[in-house]
Amino acid sequence: MRPAIERLVDATTGIDRWCSAPDWTFSTQLGFAPNVEPFVLGDLERWAVVLAEFRDEAGQPVLGGLEPLWGFACPLLLPEPEEHAFEFAEQLGRRAGWDRLVIAGLDAQSDLYFHTVRALSTIGTV
């Protein structure tokens, strides 16, 4: 899985490649949230989104990237966001047990941001 994620990080524009890569995100998750189980949406060939379920102060589920502390890493590995952002939103919409998603590490001027916001608006409030 790691080589596929690294390849997708390198192919995705609008993200910090160092902080979004497995060396950073997996290490941060193991160091600061070792009891959190990561999961991957996507096919790891064309696109992937690496997320985990965290709990807020009230114990409610929040989905987010593996590096929830600084917000430099982006869990969205969508080299072609216009094509794959809607697939991501569709898969995310089928996942039960969550009502909030936090995605950090996005450049608000990027195509990745634009297409992700547009796609997520089909399943909830953005």
Q: Considering the entire predicted model, what is its pTM?
A: 0.91
Spatial distance between the Cα atoms of 124 and 126, rounded to a whole number of angstroms = 6
**116 pLDDT higher than 80:** yes
- pLDDT score, position 77: 98
Q: How far apart are CA 117 and CA 111, in angstroms?
A: 10
Query: What per-residue confidence (pLDDT) applies to 109?
Result: 94
Residue closest to 49 by CA, chosen among 72, 30, 66: 66
Phi-psi region of 116 (alpha: psi -120 to 50; beta: other; left: phi over 0): alpha
Which of 67-71, 83-87, 121-125 has the largest mean confidence? 83-87
Question: Two tokens at 126?
Answer: 């953005």
Distance of CA 106 to the CA centre of its chain: 10
pLDDT tens digits, 86-100 = 999 999 999 999 989
3 state DSSP class of 61: strand
pLDDT digits (tens, 9 = 90+) for 34-72: 888 899 999 999 999 999 999 999 999 999 999 878 889
pLDDT of residue 23: 93
Q: What is the pLDDT of residue 44?
A: 95
What pLDDT was estimated at residue 59? 92
Reading the block at residue 53, the tokens are 């379920």
Q: Phi and psi dihedrals of 44, rounded to 5? A: 65, 5
The pLDDT of residue 126: 75
